[in-house]
Amino acid sequence: MERRNAWKTYQEEELQELEEISRAYRGFLDQGKTERECIRYIVELAGKHGYRELSEVRKSGKPLKAGDKVYAVNMKKSIAMFRIGEKPLVDGMNILGAHIDSPRMDVKQNPLYEDTELAYLDTHYYGGIKKYQWVTLPLAIHGVVAKKNGEVLELSIGEKEEDPVFCVTDLLIHLAAEQMDKKASKAVEGEQLDVLIGSRPLPDEEKEPVKKRLLQLLKETYGMEEEDFLSAELEIVPAGPARDAGLDGSMVIGYGQDDRVCAYTSLRAMLEMEDTERTACCLLVDKEEIGSVGATGMQSRFFENTVAELMELSGCYSGLNVKRCLAASNMLSSDVSAAFDPGFASAFEKKNAAYFGRGMVFNKFTGSRGKSGSNDANAEYIAKLRGIMDAHNVAYQTAELGKVDVGGGGTIAYILALYGMNVIDSGVAVLNMHAPWEITSKADIYEAYKAYKAFLRDA
């Protein structure tokens, strides 16, 4: 059951649309390198498309009706968007879910130190990474610093041409014999991922002259004291924009495509959604890379509480109706899949791998090895999705995340499945997943967008 490469099917009009979507997607990657930046981008775009904040609707006292477009934001790191359908909410929704956090390095709360007149920021890596991939790269600092007086400073250093960039250093090959004998997981340790940020000392200063000069710069430029690191959220990410990849320009290379490629295509499908029978929803959340924990992760009650608010404003709230709504819903839990890499073919089972250019991926089996942590979607739901995709001429494929005993991975699907709704994992195949620079196929990005539109309309 080999799937055909989607590039072979496109007409000129489709190729133009594909390129336009890819350009816009690269812009999203550049403007959304943190969860907060993604939410700011999404809220601005949603407002331009007529979406209103749910709390404002509640204050107005006006009930929700079919065609209304609303959203709710959770701590500036997660968002749920809804377009109210003709059918009652108790009949369920069509939900697109994805996550907007990505592997990175986070600056610790007491990070700034000096050693031999070099100044560093101490970091703690976030999510699953190969630590050796993060050395010697140009890095940027993104995030916020919350001060005791309530002021919140937004930082983005390293993206503009005139900005400085930062780096984690590595040992030169001439002295690295011992390092090269280590396992890859030990060649660079987590506590070695400290970011070099300065080397110029403050004149006439004997103790920590470089650190003191940097603190002076922080004070002058941002009004920031050293203790303000205690209430800062600063993320270290690769510096620079997403780019076209390949001589033929058929791919996108950029940071954070896991899972912002699914977040963007879901968002775009949602914004272009017209009137529908069932309420459409786009749910974009934080913390998936570390288990969907915390107040902004999928395991929080944010989504359930927001649905309850939605039903209250629609005049149909009860605790039982919220449960009925969620149980009757259909969802695509959109997260990336591992693209087959012929350079590492032994990690994949070729008949059940995802391939570049063959469209969006459905993954019935997530989890690892004996389906641990899996959401095992049922056959009837998959059959329904096949019918929708074929009816809308969407290229799609099915896959598993590598050979059964090699590894595996999880998504937010199993959490939504707790409500009893139909859920399956879907998304875009990625090369270099969890690396600083990931690669996707423009054809797969385009087909995911088409698939999400078809699902919202017909599921």
pLDDT in tens, 294-352: 999 999 999 999 999 999 999 999 999 999 999 999 999 999 999 999 999 999 999 99
Q: Superfamily assignment of 6-102+255-458 in CATH?
A: Zn peptidases (3.40.630.10)
The answer to whether 211 and 113 have CB atoms below 8 angstroms apart is yes
Average pLDDT, the chain: 95
At 63-103, the pLDDT tens digits run: 999 999 999 999 999 999 999 999 999 999 999 999 999 99
What is the rounded end-to-end Cα distance, in angstroms, of the chain? 24
**Averaged pLDDT, 164-193:** 96
DSSP secondary structure code for residue 201 in this structure: P
> Tens digit of pLDDT for each residue in 114-169?
999 999 999 999 999 999 999 999 999 999 999 999 999 999 999 999 999 999 99
Query: What is residue 366's predicted lDDT score, i.e. its pLDDT?
Result: 73
Q: Are 285 and 99 in contact (CB under 8 A)?
A: yes
Residue type, 58: R
- Helices 302-313, 319-327: axis angle to 10 degrees equals 110
Per-residue tokens: 199: 């080397």
Question: For 290, left (φ over 0), alpha (ψ -120 to 50), or beta?
Answer: alpha
Residue 140: both structure tokens together: 């940027």
Q: Which residues pair with 232 in a beta bridge?
A: 145
What is the percentage of the chain residues whose pLDDT exceeds 90? 90
Q: Residue range 13-34: average pLDDT? A: 98
Q: Please give the Cα distance from 207 to 192 (Å, whole number).
A: 24
CB-based contact 406:347 (threshold 8 Å): yes
- The domain made up of 105-238 is a member of CATH 2.30.250.10: yes
For residue 73, give the H/E element and its range: strand 69-74
What backbone phi and psi angles, to 5 degrees, belong to 357? 85, -5
Q: Render 120-181 in DSSP notation, one character per residue.
A: EEEEEEESS--GGGGSSS-EEEEEEEE-TTS-EEEEEESSSTTS--BB-----GGG-HHHHT
Q: For residues 443 and 357, what is the distance between their CA atoms, to the nearest angstrom? A: 5
Mean pLDDT (whole number) for 248-260 = 97
Domain with CATH 2.30.250.10 in the chain: 105-238
pLDDT per position as a tens digit, 324-336: 999 999 999 999 9
Query: 211 Cβ partners below 8 Å, 6+ apart?
Result: 112, 113, 114, 119
- pTM for the model: 0.96
- Residues 196-240: pLDDT tens digits? 999 999 998 889 999 999 999 999 998 999 999 999 999 999 999
Find how far residue 374's CA is from the centre of its chain: 20
Per-residue pLDDT band for 367 (boundaries 50, 70, 90) equals low
Q: Does position 2 have pLDDT exceeding 90, yes or no? A: no
| Per-residue DSSP letter, 372 | B
Rounded mean pLDDT, 54-66: 93
Is residue 260 very low, low, confident or very high in pLDDT (cuts 50, 70, 90)?
Answer: very high
Q: What is the pLDDT of residue 127?
A: 96
**389-439: pLDDT as tens digits:** 999 999 999 998 888 878 777 788 889 999 999 999 999 999 999 999 999
String of DSSP letters for 283-338: EEEB-GGGTS-STTBTTSSHHHHHHHHHHHHTT---HHHHHHHHHT-EEEEE--EE
The CATH 3.40.630.10 portion of the chain extends over 6-102+255-458
Rounded distance between C-alpha atoms, residue 453 and residue 459, angstroms: 10
Q: What was the pLDDT predicted at 457?
A: 95
**Do the Cβ atoms of 66 and 275 come closer than 8 Å?**
yes
